[in-house]
Structure 1
Amino acid sequence: MTGSVGDAEDIVQDAFLNLTRVRQAGTAVGNLKAYLTTSVTRLGINYLSSARVRRETYVGDWLPEPVVVCADRPGPAEHAELSDSLSMAFLVLLEALSPVERAVFVLREVFGYGYPEVARLTGKSEANCRQIFARARKRVAAGGRAADLAPPPPVRRAESEELARKFFEAAEGGDMDALLGMLAPDVVFQGDGGGKARALARSVTEPRHVAQLLVGGFRRVRILGASMRAAWINGRPGAVTYDSEGRVASVVELDIADGVIRAIHSVSNPDKLGHLGPLSDIALLPKR
């Protein structure tokens, strides 16, 4: 719902605090799950209403906060839970929806709630929820590709991990030909620095330009004495960049489909990396 780890945690905490207040006031809660789900849903809608205003003035491309599942290799459970609903491409697509559309879409498409439950959770009529969902699904489908909407099949996860390994090796070694062979013709590179860290001013889309950007970026990583460690980011293969002191500088996620890399998402905005550990200053822009 939020695209933000910290805000999601705050919403869950607020929901439990509200539950505590209700119980202390002597009100009995018959269905705990229904009460908390309703509370979280409506708090999420309120959050999105204010977040949309803030993002109108956001500097550069906006990307969700990266969720690093495991620095090594996650098990099947983590993949199944994250890959279809937390990939950066999918969350960016949801940004096109209104707060209520996003809530209805997530409840129905991601969590599988029936329309009567969605109506109760959002405070809308069942007929209205059907219309909202149909409209939201159409908008999401129109704005993305099949690869953005579906989780990678389990059989292909190992292949994606191997492709990611070869990709990072080629980028580090400056092997342009190898990189070009792994990038889709319509590949997109997006960076999110939030106006606080070095990032692309706008998306790069041509494979050769993307490859040149990658080679230059990895060269700079070596010069700064930084290193990249493989990780699973939002249910997709990627890497975390650490400086020479082991502090987090940036995160890269690869969106892979049909044996090629369709999108590369890089987050260096320090406001979105604090939950991953101590932050590095190597990517920060000079303060004005």
Structure 2
Amino acid sequence: MPGAAVAREAVGYRPLLFSIAYGMTGSVGDAEDIVQDAFLALTRAERAGTAITDLKAYLATAVTRLGINHLRSARVRRETYVGDWLPEPVVVSADRPGPAEYAELADSLSMAFLVLLEALSPTERAVFLLREAFGYGYPDVARAVGKSEANCRQILARARKRVGPARQPADRPPSAARRAAGDALARRFFQAAAGGDMDALLDMLAPDVVFHGDGGGRARAIGRAVSGLRGVAQLLVGGFRRTGRLGIALRPATVNGRPGAVLCDERGRVAGVLALDIADGAIRAVLSVSNPDKLGHLGAVSDVALLPER
């Protein structure tokens, strides 16, 4: 196949490749770099005369293995990370549509689901993602991670135990009706939190709700996850009071395919992102990213909520 034709076909796979890379790394920038590295590897292989019979499989394998290598080197950095580590949010809204690959990703990987994957080793994460999130067959999974099919089945079984019940229906891309109900619940939730309506919040939160905050030691955020109805509700009311005093406004958005919001200062700069995980008509997790290093891909980043430099 001529080089130009290969290049055109390869570009068509970019959304899928970005989704795999992002699912592996939880980073928009790292995912983009990994996809670019896979394309460079394809170019080198072509120049070397390598016969590629299945371009999609070749690129998916390259991205998966690059993702595994990235995670192995990133483990040390994450062990010393200040506070909770959350993925970089992928935001889609009317005024922030993002590149085409964001649209495909939006129905694949919620923020809450990616948090669960942090319990897995790099290879477990790759097998779990390819099989559970992207529906790859065992032969394709085995080729991508360089293991036997039997070994991949064992790895997946082990990963399912470590993550918990794999891909419950609430974790899957929501139907149109469920998405509309979730959006309506999110609107009521944000109104109640902003208005300090504790009773309304308690009615909307799941009994085992958890709040995760990621400031990376650079922005205001809780040091560790908070769980339980009243504790999370009080945290939300206090947090929204504080953002109001700072002049930060909330703009509804879709975050990793689920209801959420972007927090912006008076100059329109991004101060944070909130993502909601909704199941059975209740909010079971609230995830807040305020680390400025994880917001730059969304536009200009605000300094109003940053901690003083040490």
TM-score range, shorter chain: over 0.9
> Aligned ranges for residues 18-97 of structure 1 at < 5 Å?
18-71=41-94, 81-82=104-105, 85-97=108-120
Q: Deviations over 1:74-126 (max 9, x none)?
A: 9xx99994466311111011111111111111111112111111111111111
Pairwise CA distance, 1:201: 0.9
Matched, 1:276 2:292: no
Give the secondary-structure state (helix, strand or coil) at the position aligned to 1:64: coil
Give the secondary-structure state (helix, strand or coil) at the position aligned to 2:162: helix
* CA–CA distance in structure 2, aligned partners of residues 54 and 25 of structure 1: 36
The answer for the alignment partner of 1:251 in structure 2 is 273
Percent identity, aligned pairs only, is 75
- Give the letter for the 1:187 counterpart: V
Matched, 1:203 2:232: no
Q: Deviations over 1:107-162 (max 9, x none)?
A: 111121111111111111111111111111222126x8946643334321111100
- Give the letter for the 1:14 counterpart: D
- C-alpha root-mean-square deviation of aligned residues, in Å? 2.2
The answer for the alignment partner of 2:184 in structure 1 is 162
> Aligned ranges for residues 144-155 of structure 1 at < 5 Å?
146=168, 149-155=171-177
Structure 2 unmatched runs, 5+:
1-23
Given candidates 148, 151, 163, the residue that maps to 1:140 is 163
- Give the letter for the 1:242 counterpart: C
* CA–CA distance in structure 1, aligned partners of residues 169 and 238 of structure 2: 28
Question: Is contact 2:90-2:102 (8 Å) kept?
Answer: no
Moved more, 233-242 or 218-227: 218-227
The answer for the alignment partner of 1:99 in structure 2 is 122
Structure 1 unmatched runs, 5+:
none
* CA–CA distance in structure 1, aligned partners of residues 95 and 298 of structure 2: 15
* CA–CA distance in structure 2, aligned partners of residues 111 and 192 of structure 1: 27
- The change in CA–CA distance for 1:56 and 1:132 in structure 2 (over 3 A counts) is same
Question: Is contact 1:83-1:152 (8 Å) kept?
Answer: no
The answer for the alignment partner of 1:122 in structure 2 is 145
Pairwise CA distance, 1:57: 0.6
Question: Is contact 1:62-1:192 (8 Å) kept?
Answer: yes
Give the secondary-structure state (helix, strand or coil) at the position aligned to 2:212: strand
- The change in CA–CA distance for 1:106 and 1:145 in structure 2 (over 3 A counts) is closer
TM-score by length of 2: 0.86
* CA–CA distance in structure 1, aligned partners of residues 82 and 150 of structure 2: 39
TM-score by length of 1: 0.92
Pairwise CA distance, 1:30: 2.7
* CA–CA distance in structure 2, aligned partners of residues 161 and 94 of structure 1: 25
Q: Deviations over 1:10-59 (max 9, x none)?
A: 00000001111222233343322121111111101101111112111111
- Give the letter for the 1:53 counterpart: V
Question: Is contact 2:92-2:103 (8 Å) kept?
Answer: no
Give the secondary-structure state (helix, strand or coil) at the position aligned to 2:263: strand
- Give the letter for the 1:221 counterpart: T
- The change in CA–CA distance for 1:38 and 1:146 in structure 2 (over 3 A counts) is closer
The answer for the alignment partner of 1:220 in structure 2 is 242
Question: Is contact 1:68-1:231 (8 Å) kept?
Answer: yes
- The change in CA–CA distance for 1:278 and 1:17 in structure 2 (over 3 A counts) is same
